[in-house]
Amino acid sequence: MMKYILFSRRSLFVWLISLELTYILAVVYLVHSNIGRDDDRRRLQEVVKRSDQCEKTRTQTLSSSSNFFYACAKEIKLYENMFAVLNHVVIEPSGDCLYQNNDTCGFNMKFLSTHCRNRTDLRGMHLKDPILSWLKALKITNKISDKPHSSRGVGFIVARHDVNNLYHTMTQIYNIVVAKHLLQITYNDSVIIFVDVHNEKTMLQELWNSLFKDAIHTRKPMPRLYFDTLVMINSGYEGHLSHLRLPNLPFISEFTEFFTRKFEICRRRELNCLNINILIILRQDTRNENDTLLVTERKFHNERQMLSQLRKEFPKYNIRGVRLDSFPIRTQFSFISQTDFLIGMHGAGLTYTLFLPEHAGVLELFPSYRDTGNTHYRTISKWRNLFYRAWQNFNLKNEFPNFETRFSARTIGYYIMEYINAKCKTVQ
């Protein structure tokens, strides 16, 4: 009997210890699970926070009405020299272009106005073409009796220039984005109207098509159209993006946001010093819209050797040489959004500096025959507060026919290391 009692007490003691251990393990599990859930919540909150920040970037830059000026009792509104705004406009095909200049060829515009009695109302505004030509060509009327059946909300009229150059194309798109922002025009209720001589086979037509789904070409058959609002977009040379002496680029957040949303790259790459992405833009001869060979200046003579040596010198980093224009425009933006250090010869491809991550760096290379006074991409880097360096070849032995230049991998590697030292606490 005594043995049985002792055994029962011993069993009870073991059972109690087991129960206590089970309780402790359960508590540890629950705490660990809550920590995991807290981590998940924090990660989710960070994602939401980044998403909210992405939403808020659209309103960070304050619009200013002080830069608007008016004509015809405010029936014509102009923003600096970048765009003009008119309400109640009919655009109709005109047929013969013999007696019209390139900016007004192929179409007429009727403007409903009660204050613009004659063209003298438009004088003294110091405007430049093409807006000046468009306003001069307006047929002012106080009544539109034969309003077209086809009506649109908002139209953006554009005369493209330097159509195969990414930088100059961006200067015009910038003017459109600023107009959309200041006039609070949504992306879905507008149409773009091309009034230039260029067809739909331009090298950058894919970019226009990606950004503006609804487009009209006045050099092609078109119906009479009525617009509640017509926005006349001036040459890119008249926009802020071409004014390289500006200390800051107005509306830069709205501009970059417009592209990142269109191409669904709102979340940017964060710097990882153990895995640096280095993109080298390669250039090649191309063909224009008429299938004529265009010889491209400022090409690498030794691109394969240079890439091979850089990969040996930086085996931990992802170094890629890419001919960007051989990829779809969406893929090009994807490449740029994941690039930490961008390298390229002076050229329009470096316009992508506008869309690099905030921690990124840029190395701009110049051949001996190109003036380093071309500060387009240096200025863009300054506007975005990016790491920027430039290097020019002065050794004529490194210059070759067909506008090819040999660059030393050691020189490029030096600037890669300088960027890493500037951005990372320790060099990996």
> How many CA atoms are closer than 13 Å to the CA of 84, on its beta-carbon side?
29
For the chain, state the CA radius of gyration: 30
User: Of 376, 294, 356, 329, which is closest to residue 208 (Cα–Cα)?
Assistant: 329
Does 38 score more than 50 pLDDT? Answer: no
- Provide the pLDDT confidence category of residue 42 given band limits of 50, 70 and 90: very low
Helix axes 252-262, 166-183, angle to 10 degrees: 100
pLDDT above 70 covers a percentage of the chain that reads 76
Spell out the domains of the chain, with CATH numbers in brackets.
65-261 (no CATH), 269-423 (3.40.50.2300)
Average pLDDT over residues 317-336: 94
- Provide the pLDDT confidence category of residue 157 given band limits of 50, 70 and 90: very high
**Residue 100: both structure tokens together:** 């019209």
pLDDT single digits (tens) 237-272: 999 999 999 999 999 999 999 998 888 886 678 999
For residues 211 and 175, is the Cβ–Cβ distance under 8 A? no
Which tops the pLDDT comparison, 67 or 404? 404
> Does the N-terminal peptide bond of residue 367 adopt cis geometry, omega within 30 degrees of 0?
no
Which tops the pLDDT comparison, 43 or 142? 142
User: Of 52, 80, 53, which is closest to residue 64 (Cα–Cα)?
Assistant: 80
Question: For the chain, how many residues are written?
Answer: 428
Which tops the pLDDT comparison, 135 or 391? 391
- Provide the pLDDT confidence category of residue 7 given band limits of 50, 70 and 90: very low
Average pLDDT over residues 386-412: 95
pLDDT single digits (tens) 58-97: 444 444 556 888 888 888 899 988 999 999 999 988 766 5
pLDDT single digits (tens) 358-369: 999 999 999 999
Judged by DSSP in three states, 92 sits in: strand
Judged by DSSP in three states, 395 sits in: coil
Residue 21: partners with Cβ closer than 8 Å, 6 or more residues away: none
Res 141: pLDDT: 83
pLDDT single digits (tens) 280-307: 999 887 766 667 777 788 999 999 999 9
Res 337: pLDDT: 95
**Residue 158: both structure tokens together:** 């554009």
- What is each CA distance from 147 to 13, 114, 227, in whole angstroms? 97, 17, 10
Helix axes 303-313, 409-423, angle to 10 degrees: 40
State the distance between the two ends of the chain, measured CA to CA, in whole angstroms: 74
Is residue 169 classed exposed, middle or buried when 0-12, 13-18 and 19+ CB atoms within 10 A define those classes? buried
Res 24: pLDDT: 59
Judged by DSSP in three states, 342 sits in: strand
For residues 360 and 386, is the Cβ–Cβ distance under 8 A? yes
Which tops the pLDDT comparison, 105 or 261? 261
- Provide the mean pLDDT of the chain: 81
Q: What does DSSP say about strands 76-79 and 68-71: parallel, antiparallel, or unpaired?
A: antiparallel
Which tops the pLDDT comparison, 67 or 162? 162
Does 137 score more than 70 pLDDT? Answer: yes
Greatest mean pLDDT among 19-28, 52-61, 128-137, 418-427 = 128-137
DSSP 339: -
Is residue 317 classed exposed, middle or buried when 0-12, 13-18 and 19+ CB atoms within 10 A define those classes? buried
**Residue 68: both structure tokens together:** 């608007």
Does 231 score more than 60 pLDDT? Answer: yes
Query: Alpha-carbon distance 84 to 75, whole Å?
Result: 10
